């Protein structure tokens, strides 16, 4: 009975509350206010994620002591900077991306600088920043004039990937946080069915990718998920490239979304199989 | 000269020098264990394999004793590799960010039964809280190389939620008992 209650509680915290928050906030802001739709979605995404995160981990002190407790706050700089720069040109947005990535990765790496030599730390910071900027560039270039609802489903797939690899390799809190991100994205997708003009603009993409990056860094450096599953979860983010593919560009929403989501799922499935095959068979553990 | 001696003795009277003997923990004959309830029906035990400490013990005046212990959290050992990895993760000890836990004495009280109540600051997972160990000191005896050896057996109970470790509660109990059974050699 007690374990059933725990499962229900976990499902509510990790999935239901973020999903409802993402849907409700995006609908309310999109319908009742005059703020840009991208802003409404970005705020809803961050709010949904934060609700799930705090429901699971508790609302601790500020500033947080543990590095993963910074995760909800790492969505604020991209939200603010990209909303401010939304009407600016590509150069200004690129500078905003650099500022955001420097801030987010510094927050993620600062508590474990003692674990690296200076050259290794610099290599990690620069490497992570390049990896993030590469992904951001791909997503930002994939935006179109029309709102792309499929982005929200891709967010669900990608965040679910981080959740699975974290949980399967020993980190429930990070896995649940990634689950909250997936659920919040799912809620916004459902809201977009009612309000089709909700869009994932530059601010939404930047917020999602910052949370995604923070989760991956936590999964690799703090949970110590093995490198291959982390790399595959990261690679899933590039599935958005398919949207630019000539054949899919003009395809129906269902066909375009299904194929792109499948492309995102493929590396995640490989990661999950890798983790299951390499799990110690005689080493049962359910906490 | 007489004035100098008188002055020195006066100073010593106001600032008594501690006669505590510094004992260094001998890891090969010591253990740091923890226990916690599981599912409210059983008690689970685990241990830390790497730790160090100094026991500055003053037999004549136990209140002036100081006991310091540092535990390498990466060395957590629950006899299950997957659980050890989970215990090292941010769900529990977060050992990448907080590689050590430590105890530093702030006060010692000698009890009528000869045991000690050792209060100090315990730092775990980045948070510091006061906890009190019930400690029994045994010895001294002479070790094989002739050095004076004492045993220090200390237990304390704390709530892991006070240190921000809440994962798995209530399946994994909130109250944790830590036991340090230390053999220490006089240096």
The 10 Å Cβ neighbour count of residue B41 is: 6
In contact, B75 and A209? CB cutoff 8 Å: no
Task: Tell me how many degrees the CA angle B142-B148-B149 measures, rounded to the nearest 5.
Answer: 85
Residues of B in contact with A218 (CB under 8 A): 90
| Residue-range definition of the domain harbouring residue B166 | 18-186
> Domains of chain A: which residue ranges?
2-277
Residues of A in contact with B164 (CB under 8 A): 60, 65-66
Helix (H), strand (E) at residue A121: helix A118-141
Whether A287 sits inside 8 A of B86 (CB atoms) is yes
Measured between alpha carbons, how far is residue A74 from residues A80, A100, A105 in Å?
11, 9, 9
Query: What pTM value is reported for the model?
Result: 0.89
Whether A283 sits inside 8 A of B81 (CB atoms) is yes
For the segment A55-71, the average pLDDT, to the nearest whole number, is 90
Looking at the partner chain, which of A112, A115, A280 has a beta carbon nearest the beta carbon of B81?
A280
pLDDT given for residue B25 in this prediction: 96
In sequence order, which residues have a C-beta less than 8 Å from that of residue B98 and are 6 or more positions away? B73, B124, B125, B126
Which string of b and e fits A25-38 if b means at least 16 CB within 10 Å? bbbebbeeeeebbb
Output the CA torsion sign for B67, B70, B76, B77.
negative
Task: In whole angstroms, give the CA distance from residue A115 to residue B98.
Answer: 11
Query: DSSP string spanning chain B?
Result: -HHHHHHHHHHHHHSPPP--EEEEE-GGG-EEEEEEEETTTEEEEEEES-EEEEEEE-SS-GGG-EEEEEEEGGGEE-S-HHHHHHHHSTTTT-TTT--EEEEEEEEEEE-TTS-EEEEEEEEETTEEEEEEEEEEEEEEEE-TTS-EEEEEEEEEEEEGGGGT--TTTTTEEEEEEEEEEEEEEE-
This model of the complex carries an ipTM of: 0.85
B108: tokens are: 């010692």
In contact, B78 and B92? CB cutoff 8 Å: no
Instruction: Output the tens digit of pLDDT for each of chain B's 187 residues.
Output: 555 555 555 554 444 445 788 999 999 999 999 999 999 899 999 999 999 999 999 999 999 999 999 999 999 999 998 899 999 999 999 999 999 999 999 999 999 999 999 999 999 999 999 999 999 999 899 988 889 999 999 999 999 999 999 988 888 999 999 999 999 999 8
Residue B13 in domain: no
Whether B82 sits inside 8 A of A280 (CB atoms) is yes
B83: tokens are: 């659980």
Task: In whole angstroms, give the CA distance from residue A49 to residue A23.
Answer: 12
pLDDT given for residue B12 in this prediction: 47
Residues of B in contact with A168 (CB under 8 A): none
Domain count, chain B: 1
Question: Which of A116, A172, A280, A287 would best serve as a mutation to test chain B binding (most B beta carbons within 10 A)?
Answer: A287
Cis peptide before B170 (omega within 30 of 0): yes
Residue B141 in domain: yes
A31: tokens are: 């319908």
List the one residue out of A202, A200, A201, A199 whose CA is nearest residue A95: A202
CATH number of the domain that residue B53 is part of = 2.40.128.110
Whether B170 sits inside 8 A of A223 (CB atoms) is no
Task: In whole angstroms, give the CA distance from residue B154 to residue B25.
Answer: 13
pLDDT in tens, A137-179: 999 888 876 667 889 999 999 999 999 999 999 889 999 999 9
Residues of A in contact with B167 (CB under 8 A): 172-173
Residue B4 in domain: no
Mapped onto helix, strand or coil, the DSSP state of residue A282 is coil
As a whole number of Å, the end-to-end CA separation of chain B is: 34
Task: In whole angstroms, give the CA distance from residue B106 to residue B132.
Answer: 10
Which chain B residues have any C-beta within 8 angstroms of a chain A C-beta?
A: 39, 80-83, 85-86, 88-91, 94, 96-97, 99, 125-127, 164, 166-168, 170-172
Looking at the partner chain, which of B91, B96, B171 has a beta carbon nearest the beta carbon of A115?
B96
Residues of B in contact with A173 (CB under 8 A): 89-91, 167
Whether B89 sits inside 8 A of A223 (CB atoms) is yes
């Amino acid at each position: 009975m007690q374990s059933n209650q725990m499962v229900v509680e976990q499902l509510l915290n990790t999935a239901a509350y973020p999903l409802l928050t993402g849907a409700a906030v995006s609908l309310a802001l999109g319908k009742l206010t005059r703020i840009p739709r991208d802003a409404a979605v970005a705020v809803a995404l961050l709010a949904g994620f934060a609700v799930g995160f705090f429901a699971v981990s508790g609302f601790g002190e500020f500033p947080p002591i543990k590095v993963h407790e910074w995760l909800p706050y790492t969505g604020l700089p991209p939200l603010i900077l990209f909303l401010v720069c939304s009407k600016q040109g590509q150069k200004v947005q690129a500078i905003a991306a650099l500022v955001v990535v420097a801030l987010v990765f510094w927050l993620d790496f600062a508590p474990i600088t003692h674990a690296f030599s200076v050259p290794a730390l610099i290599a990690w910071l620069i490497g992570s920043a390049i990896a993030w900027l590469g992904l951001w560039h791909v997503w930002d270039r994939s935006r179109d004039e029309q709102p792309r609802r499929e982005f929200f489903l891709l967010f669900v797939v990608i965040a679910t990937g981080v959740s699975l690899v974290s949980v399967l390799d020993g980190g429930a809190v990070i896995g649940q946080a990634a689950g909250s991100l997936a659920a919040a994205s799912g809620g916004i997708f459902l809201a977009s069915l009612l309000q089709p003009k909700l869009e994932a603009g530059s601010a939404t993409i930047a917020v999602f990718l910052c949370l995604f990056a923070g989760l991956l860094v936590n999964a690799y450096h703090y949970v110590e998920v093995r490198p291959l599953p982390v790399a595959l979860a990261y690679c899933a983010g590039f599935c958005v490239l398919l949207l630019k593919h000539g054949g899919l560009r003009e395809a129906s929403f269902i066909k375009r979304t299904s194929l792109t989501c499948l492309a995102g799922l493929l590396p995640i499935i490989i990661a999950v199989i890798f983790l299951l095959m390499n799990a110690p068979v005689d080493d049962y553990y359910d906490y | 000269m007489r004035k100098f001696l008188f002055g020195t003795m006066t100073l010593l009277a106001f600032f008594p020098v501690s006669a505590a003997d510094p004992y260094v923990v001998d890891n090969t004959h010591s253990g740091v264990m923890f226990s916690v309830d599981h599912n409210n029906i059983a008690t689970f035990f685990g241990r830390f394999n790497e730790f160090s400490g100094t026991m500055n013990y003053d037999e004549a005046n136990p209140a002036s004793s100081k006991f310091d212990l540092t535990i390498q959290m990466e060395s957590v050992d629950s006899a299950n590799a997957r659980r050890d990895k989970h215990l090292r993760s941010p769900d529990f000890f977060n050992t990448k960010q907080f590689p050590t836990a430590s105890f530093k004495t702030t006060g010692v009280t000698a009890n009528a039964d000869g045991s000690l109540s050792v209060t100090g600051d315990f730092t775990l997972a980045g948070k510091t809280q006061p906890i009190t160990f019930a400690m029994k000191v045994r010895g001294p005896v002479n070790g094989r190389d002739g050095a004076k050896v004492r045993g220090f057996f200390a237990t304390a109970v704390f709530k892991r939620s006070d240190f921000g470790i809440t994962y798995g509660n209530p399946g994994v109990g909130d109250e944790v008992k830590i036991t340090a059974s230390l053999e220490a050699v006089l240096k």
